[in-house]
Chain A
């Protein structure tokens, strides 16, 4: 059974930093690209970032470019999201999700498996 477990969420002041972690089990982690998606409670899903299986390719949504950084440690089956210069509108549940499949130079499919999410609250 594929499982994704996020951690690291919490309360942070505006301008602060936070690092989210997502540990994956039930699959060969190093074979799959991973993504982060966020959702303000009661609102729509918003794609945040993706990282290729090797970690060599990353992409970001416009709202987080330059502030957030995605990385992974294939020896620990873990993907990370480093969030800097946090703002009130970054407040959301952050989901870790496995990319369904990735084609080099051709794109990638939206996620198939999702974690249960971790809440990040940015407030004074």
Chain B
């Protein structure tokens, strides 16, 4: 099963907003709300920042928001900060009872 499709890289200046897309199919994102997003800094484990399409864990900044439309999920980072520079991955449950991840997006703060 192919990975969910994410842009390889996205960049923005401090204070700006950026959006990362994650495109799947009607066997995963299109039919399930089990969509999560992760932030991963170099050499570190992934950290959950969004679950159930748009919910934030208590320790995650409200500068992170997310949504879903059809087969595509999106993550928006508002008020971009230097500490947001990292890789971001989406993930979804699938109709085969498996999980699938996106290819990852490198966010660069200019």
Chain A window 7-47, contacts with chain B (Cβ cutoff 8 Å), 1 for yes, 0 for no: 00000000000000000000000000001010000011111
A50 surroundings in chain B (CB, below 8 A): 98-99
B1 touches A45 (CB 8 A): no
Number of CB contacts from chain A to chain B under 8 A: 68
One of B44, B92, B104 near A110 (C-beta < 8 A) = B92
One of A46, A112, A115 near B101 (C-beta < 8 A) = A46
State whether the Cβ of B45 lies closer than 8 Å to any Cβ in chain A.
yes
One of A35, A45, A116 near B89 (C-beta < 8 A) = A45
Instruction: Report Cα–Cα, A45/B96, bound state, in Å.
Output: 18
Interface of A is mostly: strand
Could you tell me the distance in whole angstroms from the C-beta of A93 to the nearest C-beta in chain B?
Answer: 9
A110 touches B93 (CB 8 A): yes
A110 touches B45 (CB 8 A): no
B51 touches A47 (CB 8 A): no
Could you tell me the distance in whole angstroms from the C-beta of A82 to the nearest C-beta in chain B?
Answer: 19
The count of residues in chain A whose C-beta lies closer than 8 Å to any C-beta of chain B is 25
B52 touches A44 (CB 8 A): no
Knowing A47-B100, A61-B98, A100-B36, the reply to whether A112 touches B57 (Cβ < 8 A) is yes
Instruction: Report Cα–Cα, A52/B48, bound state, in Å.
Output: 20
B92 touches A47 (CB 8 A): no
Q: Provide a sorted-by-A list of 25 A–B residue pairs whose CB atoms are within 8 angstroms.
A: A35-B99, A43-B104, A44-B101, A44-B104, A45-B46, A45-B101, A47-B91, A47-B98, A50-B99, A61-B98, A95-B45, A107-B32, A107-B93, A107-B97, A108-B34, A108-B93, A109-B93, A110-B35, A110-B36, A110-B91, A110-B99, A113-B48, A114-B46, A114-B47, A115-B45
Interface set of B (CB-CB < 8 Å, partner A): 1, 3, 32, 34-36, 38, 44-48, 51-52, 57, 89, 91-93, 96-104
